[in-house]
A and B are shown apart, each in its own frame.
Chain A
Amino acid sequence: EIVVTQSPVTLSVSPGERVTLSCRASQSVSSNLAWYQQKPGQAPRLLIYGASTRATGIPARFSGSGSGTEFTLTITSLQSEDFAVYYCQQYNKWPPATFGQGTKVEIK
């Protein structure tokens, strides 16, 4: 099973700042990595797939990059609605699909 590790666990930022979240896979997943956003009490929402392709309706301030084992999600100019938990997920070798443990982006 491919293990996916996210860092940091928590990120404290101010609105308007640029945020970079990291995701590392235990072995290469090529570009088969997705990012999700989850707000309290809500289901996750797909943000990015194929490491860098935004899902339908996702604002351009969200961008993904990386391949192989190292990936990043960048949010430029953080908005109030962006405070949430972000998960990455590999799907290069599924089953099983595996998720990272999440990074919480909180207000500083």
Chain B
Amino acid sequence: QLQLQESGPRLVKPSENLSLTCSVSRRSLSPGNFYWGWVRQSPGQGLEWIATIDDYGSTYYNPSLQSRVAISADTSNNTFSLRLTSVTAVDTAVYYCARHGGSVRGVLAHWGQGLLVTVS
């Protein structure tokens, strides 16, 4: 059973940078044609896709956040990470990491439990 677990600070000050890590169990991030992404959900709001990285290191970003976001992967540690710069209150959200579908790349098939990050 694939498991993903987000980790990182739960409280960040405005203007600081946020770094989150997703730990992946059972299957490594070694090349295998999978896509790994981050999605966030502001309190009481809907879902917003942030960024995705594939097993070959290609990255994909939401244009609305692209100037402040970077996604990376550490295959040796089975993790991938998100960095969001210059956060403000609007970045307060539950951040989810997820694995895209193996054959249907556009869907998010496996999700972590989420991590609430508050900017204050």
Contact = CB atoms under 8 A, between A and B. Distances in A.
Interface of A: 1, 32, 34, 36, 42-46, 49-50, 55, 87, 89, 91-92, 94-102
B52 to A, nearest CB: 7
Contact of A97 (B49, B111, B113, B114): B49
A97 B49 CA distance: 6
Interface of B: 46-49, 52, 60-64, 96, 98, 101, 104-109, 111-114
Given A32-B106, A89-B107, A95 B49 contact: yes
Contact of B60 (A34, A36, A92, A94): A94
A104 to B, nearest CB: 11
Contact of A44 (B47, B62, B104): B47
Given A44-B96, A45-B111, 4 more contacts: A36-B108, A55-B109, A89-B107, A102-B46
Interface SS of chain A: helix, strand, loop or mixed?
loop
Nearest to A55: B109
A95 B46 contact: no
Contact of B106 (A34, A44, A87, A100): A34
A93 B112 CA distance: 24
Contacts of B62: 95-96
Given A49-B101, A96-B64, A91 B109 contact: no
A91 B98 CA distance: 15
Contact of B49 (A45, A49, A98, A100): A98
14 contacts: A34-B107, A43-B98, A44-B96, A46-B101, A46-B107, A46-B108, A49-B101, A87-B46, A91-B104, A92-B106, A94-B106, A95-B60, A99-B48, A100-B46
